[in-house]
Amino acid sequence: MVKKPTKNTSGRGQRDLTVKVKTARGRSLSSTRWLQRQLNDPYVKMAKAEGFRGRAAFKIRDLDDKFRFLIPGARVVDLGCAPGGWCQVAVKRVNALSERPSKAQGRVLGIDLQEVEAIPGAEIHQLDFLAEDAEKQVMAWLGGPADVVMSDMAASSSGHKQTDHLKIIALCEAAAYFSFDVLVEGGTFVAKVLAGGAEGELQKMLKSRFKKVENVKPPSSRADSSEKFVVATGFKGPLPDVDADADQD
């Protein structure tokens, strides 16, 4: 049961618009708290108003406002793209729907394990990016290397904070290795991580392959969430083929 917003009696002429939710029979306290947070989240309301599939769309928008990697003409791969909010933002910013000759037209490729409803301007494929030769398949669909690889993926929660942290770091590392195979030199990698103390190796790996690595918590990320985003720019390109060099000697 949802109670109507209550009036503010502070005498300042303002109203308290907080929606309070009672715990219903059969619904846990945690579910009730989640529902109350959703009902009072301004970004949830904004997402509905602007036609986005979720509040996460504002996170990639915030990140791009700061780092400017979704430029017109860019080719973008969104790993774990469901429900599609990041793709929606990317389509508009890289001009994936533009047919004007004067504007560079980008490409947006969404990849997910589950089937995702079609997104105008984006090409969606059901694929496990960890599968053998997945990077070759993605580049074939894209028609070449990507300018941006981005990931808002999160491993399924176990309820144990440290375990969940390690799982999402491992997922982020896998996404990073995938990006090494598909990014063009100078490209950008963006991914969600959770603060928790195990990010050292990930940071070290990214700094060895990109010119600049920054960790950011965008304004649209909930204050009580431990999530942050790593933005790695200026991909240095593929490593030299050691075996090939040895054969030449």
Residue 225 reports pLDDT greater than 80: no
Q: How many domains does the chain have?
A: 2
Report phi then psi at 150, rounded to 5. Answer: -130, 150
Domain containing 141 equals 54-242
| pLDDT tens for each residue of 197-212 | 567 889 999 999 999 9
Is residue 32 located within the same domain as residue 139? no
List the structure tokens of 85: 């909010």
Residues 4 and 58 grouped into a single domain: no
Catalytic machinery residues: 192
Query: Is pLDDT at 130 greater than 90 in this prediction?
Result: yes
Q: How far, in Å, CA of 114 to CA of 126, rounded?
A: 6
Is 49 contained in some domain?
A: no
Amino acid of residue 237: G
Least confident range from 47-56, 86-95, 107-116, 225-234: namely 47-56
Contact 43, 220 (CB under 8 A): yes
If asked whether residues 176 and 68 sit together in one domain, one would say yes
Q: Which residues are annotated as a binding site?
A: 84, 86, 112, 128, 152
User: Are the C-beta atoms of residues 150 and 81 closer than 8 Å to each other?
Assistant: no
The token pair at 94 is 């890289």
What backbone phi and psi angles, to 5 degrees, belong to 173? -65, -40
The model's pTM: 0.78
Residue ranges of the binding site for S-adenosyl-L-methionine: 84, 86, 112, 128, 152
